[in-house]
Amino acid sequence: MRRRHGDAAADDLVHESYLRAAPYEAAGTLRHPKAMLIRIAENLASNLRRDRYHEVADDIGASTLEINSISPSQEQAVTFKQIVLALPDELREVFMLNHVEGMTYEEIAIELRIPRTTVHHRMRMALKRTSKAMRD
């Protein structure tokens, strides 16, 4: 156990393995006690690794959520709003329907009675202009 799982974990694994095997030994149902103890210890080690992995993943997920949930500063929000409002009407309309209303390109094409490729072209132009303006 020490070679496989390190000194710190080995003592805990062995102790817990004996506790879990004790009822079987008391009942007299253990035919191969050494194999049973090793199997219990390996299962416990596997559970420990899985739990630690999930803890780390949860911590990473939480910190990612915290970073992503930080709202942009008011100045950036105002700047972005000004950029969107400065777009030509046909680009702004497509941009707003997609990003604010959540409509698909197909739905926008039907709503505005224009071809889907036109919606795609206008969205591409709107995104190009907004990203360039945000960089400047």
Cα gap 104→3, rounded to integer Å: 57
Digit-by-digit pLDDT tens for the chain (136 residues) are 777 767 777 777 777 877 888 887 777 777 787 888 788 888 887 777 776 665 554 555 444 444 454 455 777 778 888 888 999 999 999 999 998 888 899 999 999 999 999 999 999 999 899 888 888 7
Residue 102 region by backbone torsions, left for phi larger than 0, else alpha for psi between -120 and 50, else beta: left
In sequence order, the 6+-apart residues with CB closer than 8 A to the CB of 96 are 84
